[in-house]
């Protein structure tokens, strides 16, 4: 990840949309190869190594480092029917015991700069519009001070896929109110 950061900076980039610390629990899921597997501990350890490789240990970004983004907050790795972006009916207990730990570890043990919400819904609420997830848990409970960055078309999908918003303006408003800072 240090080499990747150095190569990214050489090309003018300073922001990585990685690492993926999703806990993968559905083998049919089409993005399982992006993850570090099904073990929350391993996902946290590998994710920490990635963040430190990308960013280093200093809060000041060195000339050969890039900002890191934790992906995808959360439950993305256990979609119904193995369908990418499918809803994830996961209890709060399971979220806290299995899916949150890699994210929480990295928020508390590194200076990771961004978190990206997942495309899916948890309990019928899309992650890009889930204030409990993005504000209450991430900001208030864990003390995250960085940016929340949408996944590509994640805000638009509040209108098109999730049917939560009537138009793009309402989708943007709902995402902003939930805690999304930047649209990708």
Choose, from 22, 151, 167, 181, the residue flagged as catalytic. Answer: 151
Residues 6+ apart with CB under 8 A from 105: 44, 47, 48
Cβ(75)–Cβ(118) below 8 Å: yes
Alpha-carbon distance 184 to 180, whole Å? 10
Beta-strand pair 114-117/69-73: parallel
Please give the Cα distance from 55 to 4 (Å, whole number).
Answer: 11
Residue 151 known to be catalytic: yes
The residues that bridge with 71 in the sheet, in sequence order, are 20, 116
Tell me the catalytic residues.
Answer: 151
């Amino acid at each position: 990840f240090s080499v990747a950061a150095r190569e990214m900076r050489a090309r003018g980039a300073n922001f990585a949309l990685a690492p993926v610390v999703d806990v993968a629990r559905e083998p049919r899921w089409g993005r399982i190869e992006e993850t570090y597997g099904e073990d929350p501990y391993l996902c946290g350890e590998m994710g920490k190594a990635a963040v430190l490789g990308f960013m280093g240990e200093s809060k000041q970004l060195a000339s050969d480092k890039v900002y890191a983004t934790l992906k995808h907050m959360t439950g993305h790795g256990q979609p119904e029917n193995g369908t990418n972006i499918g809803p994830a009916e996961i209890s709060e207990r399971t979220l806290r015991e299995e899916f949150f730990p890699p994210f929480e570890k990295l928020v508390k043990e590194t200076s990771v700069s961004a978190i990206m919400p997942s495309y899916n819904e948890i309990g019928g609420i899309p992650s890009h519009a889930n204030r409990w997830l993005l504000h209450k848990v991430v900001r208030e409970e864990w003390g995250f001070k960085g940016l929340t960055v949408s996944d590509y078309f994640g805000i638009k999908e509040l209108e098109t896929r999730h049917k939560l918003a009537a138009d793009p303006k309402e989708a943007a408003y709902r995402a902003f109110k939930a805690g999304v800072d930047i649209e990708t």
